[in-house]
Amino acid sequence: MDPSNIQKSREPEEPRFLDFPCLPTDTIRDGKLALNRWSSTLTRAHDFPGAQAMLYAAGVPDREMMETAPHVGVASVWWEGNPCNMHLLDLGKIVKDAVKKQGMLAWQYNTIGVSDAITMGGEGMRFSLQTREIIADSIETVTCAQHHDACIAIPGCDKNMPGCIMAFARHNRPSLMIYGGSIKPGYSTLLEKRINISTCYEAHGAYNYNTLRNPNNLSHTKDDIISDIERNACPGAGACGGMYTANTMSVAIEAMGLTLPGSSSTPAESPEKMRECIKAANAIRICMEKNIRPSDLITKPAFENAMVMMMVLGGSTNGVLHLLAMAGTAGVELTLDDFQRVSNKIPFLADLAPSGKNFMTDLYEVGGTPSIMKMLVAVGLLDGAVPTVTGKTLGENVASYPSLPDGQQLIRPLDNPIKKTGHIEILRGNLAPEGAVAKITGKEGLKFVGKARVFNKELELDLALNKGQIPRGENLVLVVRYEGPKGGPGMPEQLKASAALMGAKLTNIALITDGRYSGASHGFIVGHIVPEAAVGGPIAVVEDGDTITIDAETNTLSMNVSDEEIKRRLKIWVRPKATVTRGVLAKYAHLVGDASHGAMTDLF
């Protein structure tokens, strides 16, 4: 779609999430598209004197601004207790000042977040995924209730970004996202190497299996080493630095045209991130003048771009969950089969953590995401014609950026990929009739067969790992169940377990779950098994000793149990009593859909 052809004066469609009209007024004024066409409901003439009195108190300077200035909401997912988010209030202030210099009114507000890295492996992780819905609800609520004309959202941690885009799809007013940016790599003074948050979890596995050593100085105890890692893994503000979920989602959303070029790879504490915040004010004005709205940008071609970037860079399995939810909210048809189709044709090129050695700051140094997109547009793997928040196409946005430099090792050439196809595999079989998502980079092989060892909660597996009770030798498939969207409740990530297996070098182990994984997880892992155990999926009746096969070549996840035996086991299976019966998690468990449809709560 050519952005210049987007109709300037159309009325938006009837809202899908409200039972009363929420249409703009005074769409055309003096032959031009009015920028304050939503806020003017409150500010024109004297129809709402109480509202105007409150707005004067909040900072509207005079009558002229009251009647003519558009209102831009600046929504940051700010809170102090997490490095991914702790700087977003300050970024929001830069945006607010830049919006005001454009002659518009800017209203800064924030929503909530949960730190996955802090809650990982604990009960707090059950609250993580549902924050995506709260963030979407919050931004939709403020935008519509306060009659904002546009929205600039500033997220940091991983659930933040899809939450913001889902809100954009709901209110459908001119909007753009500014990614808070990635953290710098840490440095271990004892190990004399770069580290990051994932190092902490992998070190914990080595710590429990007494294999945590400093090859440079064997006199250091395992407590010395893990303390040094804890102290130095996260040196400042920004989201986790590898191609984990936050960076997966920021790259995907940039490829969809919903951010300024380079937003996903610009480091959190860099001067360029501050400049991006200033540029956003001009971009949102362009969106308002040209009436470029989320429904123009959140399209099937945009999702195709998002999936391509996800495969090229080795993105998180959570990207599948979040893109499905974003598409579902926007009314765009996207299924698990689309991810498999794209994975079958797109090579895995990036040497980025968790499976590689580099971080997003390294990608920034070789040209960042615009340089990769420029290359992919040139070879026809990325659609450069999709419109963007700049008023130009994606291809036009990246054309002026430098190409990837000769000799760089981070992005492999197309004729020498890490893997000829993508690392995301959609598996089905008698263990996952409605789908499962595997992250298989090829380094672990493409097939794994092992005996099942079953755990009814992640905590049970974590305790076994802490005690060194998962043996080396025979191939085992660890089955963690009752951790899906309803069963968790909240579909917690299982980085603590997956990283502990990597740190302990338990290469004879695969891990499958109806829960999910952090983007920092790697190894032979399968998640998002649907139907989940809590609703009577076959994973609920796996028994210790069943042989399980994970096959990325045939895209199957199966156990050597006949259909008749599965039916017999399910017939006598008893649904466990709900672990949570009140509060936000109980409400979430009641509303949430399955992982194969994005674990959405607004399926009705």
Which phi and psi (to 5°) does residue 500 adopt?
-65, -40
The residues near 322 (Cβ < 8 Å, ≥ 6 apart) are 132, 158, 159, 161, 162, 245, 249, 598
Question: In a 3-state reduction of DSSP, which class is residue 273?
Answer: helix
Determine if the peptide bond prior to 489 is cis (ω within 30°). yes
Tokens describing residue 135: 């963030």
CA 158, CA 240: separation in Å to the nearest integer? 9
How far is the first Cα of the chain from the last one, in angstroms, to the nearest whole number?
Answer: 30
Tokens describing residue 52: 């105007």
* Residue 169 per-residue DSSP state: H
Query: Across 496-568, where does the E strand assignment appear?
Result: 509-513, 525-527, 547-551, 556-559
Specify the pairing of strand 447-455 against strand 32-33: unpaired
547: β partners: 451
Q: Which of 265, 371, 518, 596 is catalytic?
A: 518
Angle between helices 300-313 and 245-255 (to 10 degrees): 140
Maximum C-alpha span of the chain: 78
CA 99, CA 111: separation in Å to the nearest integer? 20
* Residue 474 per-residue DSSP state: S
CA 534, CA 489: separation in Å to the nearest integer? 9
**9, amino acid identity:** S
C-beta of residue 73 within 8 angstroms of C-beta of residue 104: no
- CA 552 centroid distance within chain: 24
Active site annotation includes 250: no
C-beta of residue 283 within 8 angstroms of C-beta of residue 389: yes
Q: Which residues are catalytic?
A: 518
